[in-house]
Structure 1
Amino acid sequence: MNINNIFTYVLKSVILGLAIAFLVITIIPSITKNSDTEAINITPSSTSDLNTLSTQAPIVNSYANAVEIAAPTVVNISTQTLVTNQNYRMSKDPFMQHLFDQLQSEPRTRLEKSLGSGVIVSQDGIILTNYHVIKNANKIEVAIHDGQVALASIIGVDPDTDLAVLKVPLNNLSNIQFANSIYSRVGDIVLAIGNPFGVGQTVTSGIISGTGRNMLGINTFEDFIQTDAAINPGNSGGALINPAGELVGINTAIISRSGGSQGIGLAIPTNLAKNVMQQILKQGYVTRGWIGIGIQNVTSKLAASLKQPKTTGVIISKILVNGPADKSGLQLNDIIIKINNKKIYNKRMVLNAISKVTPSKKMLLTVIRDNKEKIISVVADQRPP
């Protein structure tokens, strides 16, 4: 190969290299740019969208602020109850009765103590708690968060919802703020504050697991919030709060086979508790309608035994003599299917509907009797305590 050929070969190589470099510099970046544009299109289109996403699911590391707001309003309640043990006759034989009367001692009394919790709802010492916490108590002592201790008096109770209103002779107390429980949703974060097992004020956390829980056989009127926040003996009457430190419910009961918390706690929602409390503060009792009947749910088996084609509704199984239902002409085995033109499916709906009627006001019951519908007007009375 002569020098001219070598020079020609080198020149061709240089030209080829420059051509490749030109392609890399000019064409490849445009391909890369297009790929990047497509990638950007599947992400939020602006910074504001990113901010919106981050505010929808904030990461909360602590609920200390909520606890600091609500904890001073939750009190410890200790009660003392005198219990008398009666001596019973062991035999109907006169001789044995006489002998037993000679040997038996006077009835014995003992002092029972129990612990619970309560929530301060006004600065002048009004406290909301469960009825079962103070039931039959001879002495009720309340310990405030700041160390003050005072004897409490009972303003009023409502056994049908397991609520009680107390008063302590103290002023300028921290009081809880009520949330509107109608906005409580399954999945909301809640904190339970109380005095479990008497160990001192304790806070547990969880979520609302369910709302509107009823027909549990705990209270006459039930509309519980269910939570998995741990509730143990001593928590009764304490506060269930939201992350803003507002009262969502009054901790009341647990469903458990062992007696300890198993993740099914029940709280009375604030709207129900507040309504009961306000009526007690105003008049000393809760106004509810009542017509004097015993009822049970209609089942297919029961309907068949009565030769009734209707398998839904509520059957009247008892009627109080000279009560409102008796005076109105309602009869045993009447099946209630509507109250004030609203359909009825179970006895809980009947109880709630009747209780909402103002005493002395009329209500219309649609019943099935002899396979025919009848509308009967009943004048409600005040539900007895």
Structure 2
Amino acid sequence: MTRRALIVLITGLVLWPVPWNRAGAQEPDGLAVAAALEQTLTSVIEKAGKSVVSIARMRRDRRPQPLDPFNPFRPDQNDLASPEFVPNQYGSGVVIAGGAGGNERFVLTGYHVVLDSASTGPVGQQTESRLFVRFADRRGCEAQILAADPRSDLAVLQLDFEQLGLKPAEVPALPLPESTELRKGQLVVALGNPYAVARDGSASASWGMISNLSRRPAAGLQSPVDEDQPTETIHQFGTLLQVDTRLNLGTSGGALLNLHGELIGLTTALAALEGYEKSAGYAIPMDAGTRRIIDSLTQGYEVEYGFLGVRPENALAGG
């Protein structure tokens, strides 16, 4: 069912005649049903939007933009911290809690969003790009990669809280659910930074439903941020959620929420590469495997994968 069909269904509920001959029966008011759904959506967006950030990625060798002689008061286009700064590479992220007692704050995003950016290790000084994270209250700070896992396309960023002007506990985080029971047709809300329009920190919202489970992207799709990034991940084996929410470039690393405001997935803009008008998207589900990966990354560890050690051979070949 598409979003248009869902709107038609809700409209039908509003206009549906109430039978007069059902004595004592309390029929639901169609308008009240629509208003309740609207209230649920706005509440989820308002609360979760505080924990969704925009990420700007700038190459260190970026050519400075010349000053506009006709508008000397125009903000500096070379200032990464300026809301007017328009990055060539951008994405989204979700604030999560970690550390002892869950008092630390990190940003969870897609690995391809922050590829070749500064890390907390000594190699970070040699990287090609800088990262800047902006929050819904327009505060912002630079960030570095704490740990990343290319195979799951996940990365965890460490924030500069001194530059941000806040303590970690003062930054609202989206909790990771202990378990998620996902179904086709389940309504979802997506928050992200499409085309860098949310670079001021206010995440853009869309909604739809889960179209399918355990999907894999079309073969040959490359990263929406960096064409040189390898595309072979564990998601090629069919781990992704398919949603009918349009996830344009820049929504990678954004939040996919259920109507309870729980983080059930991390959005990715892979489908946008097939055509800008396709109303489809993918998300990495927050299942037990993903939560295990995130737990390792927030501790700064490399994610370990087990291998069976079996090699296939042709049983019909003569020996």
Give CA-to-partner distance per residue, 1:123-180, whole Å, 9 cap, x none: 6321100000000122111111112111112111111111101111332101012345
Q: Secondary structure at the match of 1:183?
A: coil
- Cα distance in 2 for residues equivalent to 1:61 and 1:285: 42
Give CA-to-partner distance per residue, 1:106-125, whole Å, 9 cap, x none: xxxxxx84111000002632
Match of 2:38 in 1: 61
Match of 1:299 in 2: none
Which structure has the higher relative contact order (CA within 8 Å, separation 6+)? 2
Match of 1:189 in 2: 187
Match of 2:233 in 1: 220
Given that 1:231 and 1:261 are in contact with CA atoms closer than 8 Å, whether structure 2 keeps it comes out as no
The letter for the 2-side match of 1:334 is: E
Match of 1:167 in 2: 158
Q: Which has the higher helix share?
A: 1
Which one has a bigger Cα radius of gyration? 1
- Cα distance in 2 for residues equivalent to 1:369 and 1:289: 29
Structure 1 residue ranges without an equivalent (≥5): 1-38, 85-111, 292-323, 336-367, 373-385
Q: 1:144 to 1:61 in 2, by over 3 A?
A: closer
Q: Secondary structure at the match of 1:273?
A: helix
2:253 matched to 1:237?
Answer: yes
Q: 1:264 to 1:370 in 2, by over 3 A?
A: same
Match of 2:208 in 1: 206
Q: 1:219 to 1:225 in 2, by over 3 A?
A: farther
2:107 matched to 1:127?
Answer: yes
Given that 2:146 and 2:300 are in contact with CA atoms closer than 8 Å, whether structure 1 keeps it comes out as no
Structure 2 residue ranges without an equivalent (≥5): 1-19, 63-86, 98-102, 118-128, 162-167, 220-230
Match of 1:351 in 2: none
1:156 to 140, 147, 162: 147
Q: 1:58 to 1:139 in 2, by over 3 A?
A: same
Given that 2:254 and 2:267 are in contact with CA atoms closer than 8 Å, whether structure 1 keeps it comes out as yes
Match of 2:133 in 1: 142
Given that 2:189 and 2:258 are in contact with CA atoms closer than 8 Å, whether structure 1 keeps it comes out as yes
Q: Secondary structure at the match of 1:140?
A: strand
User: Identity over aligned residues, as a percent?
Assistant: 27
What's the TM-score, normalizing by structure 1? Answer: 0.53
Given that 1:80 and 1:113 are in contact with CA atoms closer than 8 Å, whether structure 2 keeps it comes out as yes
Given that 1:254 and 1:264 are in contact with CA atoms closer than 8 Å, whether structure 2 keeps it comes out as no
What's the TM-score, normalizing by structure 2? Answer: 0.64
2:309 matched to 1:334?
Answer: no
Q: 1:193 to 1:256 in 2, by over 3 A?
A: closer
The number of residue pairs the alignment matches comes to 230
Given that 1:161 and 1:219 are in contact with CA atoms closer than 8 Å, whether structure 2 keeps it comes out as no
Match of 1:288 in 2: 305
- Cα distance in 1 for residues equivalent to 2:292 and 2:157: 15
Given that 1:194 and 1:203 are in contact with CA atoms closer than 8 Å, whether structure 2 keeps it comes out as yes
Superposition RMSD on alpha carbons, in Å?
Answer: 3.1
Q: Which has the higher strand share?
A: 1
